[in-house]
Amino acid sequence: MILDEIVAAKLQELKNSKKKVPERLLLQELPEEAPPLFSAAFQEEKLNIIAEIKYQSPSRGVFPCLLRPTEVAGQYISAGAVGLSILTEKKYFSGAPEHLKSVRREFPEIPILRKDFLFDPYQVLEARVWGASAVLAIVACLQPAQLIELLASAREGFLDVLVEVHNAKELETALESGAKIIGVNNRNLKDFSVDITISFEIARLLEKEQGYCLIAESGLSERNQILELQDAGFQGFLIGSHFMNNQNPGELLAELVAG
């Protein structure tokens, strides 16, 4: 299973990173100022798009976009993105920490999500040092205690956490952990099939609840899809593959926002 491979590779990478840069050294690099709030990107009632920068994926292969991360980010911001999602996973998504760092240097005000497979508070600290505003926590990859630990570490570092779920059971785990920003991934992490109805099912489970921000992820490419999800209670929409499948990703974002 590809997910198991990714997790195993990431755990080894984490082990290597801790040896190369011990936590005590990483702490010395902490920025003094808090990053832009990720959660603040979803306050307005509009098409709040979190545009993703990734150069390949296990399900889609290598994307046509060859622009540097800062160029992609510039296009996205000009086209109306309220935030960015930047892959830092190297082996399977061609991401890199420098992608996030370079975008943060050039665009200090934009909220940025570190998109990766996180298991350890050390990775949250990395994200904070690199300039992220938020980190991803995938419930399917974590034990409940690990999720609680990641959320606590993020709070200490003034970071938000996008807690990703795929079904009702994972949603229950997310809520019990204290998650406030819930990402609903429409992509099955086992076979990579996409089913948008997952988002609607999760939204129904939360329709009487307050205090949560719902973000739809994966398989989104059409404005009518997004408007339907917005009506169902979603405040944000994370889109990557659709945009990166173009040599100029910002053009597709501008078309989506303009309608």
Give catalytic residue positions: 52, 54, 115, 164, 185, 217-218
Spatial CB neighbours of 238, under 8 Å, sequence gap ≥ 6: 49, 50, 52, 85, 113, 183, 215, 216, 217, 218, 220
Instruction: Tell me the sheet residues that pair with 57.
Output: 61
Beta carbons of 206 and 181 less than 8 angstroms apart = no
- Report the alpha-carbon distance of residue 123 to residue 174 in Å, rounded: 19
* DSSP β-ladder status, 49-53 and 83-87: parallel
